[in-house]
Amino acid sequence: MDGAKVKVGQTFPLEIKRMGINGEGIGYHKQTVVFTHGALSGEEVVAKVTKVFPNYCVAKVEKIKRQSEFRVTPPCPVYETCGGCELQHLKYSAQLDLKKDLLIQALEKHTKFNIKKLKIRETIGMEEPFRYRGKSQFQARMVDGKLRTGLYARESHELVPIEDCLVQDARTVELTNAARDILNQLGVKAYDERKKTGDIRTIVVRVGVKTGEAQLVLVTTNKHFNGRRSFIEEITKQFPNLVSIMQNVKEDDSSLIFGPETEKLFGQEQMTEELSELKFDLSARAFFQLNPSQTEKLYEEVLKALTLTGEESLVDAYSGAGTIGLYLARKVREVRGMDVVEEAVLDATRNAQKNGIKNASYTVGTAEQVFHSWQDEGYKPDIVVVDPPRTGLESGLLRSILQVKPKQLVYVSCNPSTLARDLAQLEKRYRIRYLQPVDMFPMTAQVECVVKLTLKSNPKKK
Label residues 338-361 b or e (16+ Cβ within 10 Å = b): bbebebbbbbbbbbbebbebeebe
Q: Which helix (H) or strand (E) holds 281?
A: strand 278-282
Q: Which of these is catalytic: 57, 82, 165, 414?
A: 414
Q: What is the C-alpha separation between 290 and 132, in angstroms, rounded? A: 8
Handedness of CA 362, 366, 372, 373 (dihedral sign): negative
Please tell me the distance from the alpha carbon of residue 360 to that of residue 330, in angstroms, as a whole number: 10
Which H/E stretch holds residue 213? Answer: none
Distance CA 279, CA 211 (A): 9
Give the span between the Cα atoms of 136 and 138, in whole angstroms: 6
Exposed, middle or buried: residue 23 (CB in 10 Å: 0-12, 13-18, 19+)? buried
- How many CA atoms, within 13 angstroms, populate the side-chain half-sphere of residue 53? 8
What number of residues does the chain have? 462
Query: Phi first, then psi: what are they for 214, rounded to 5°?
Result: -135, 145
Active-site residue flag, 57: no
Active site amino acids: 414
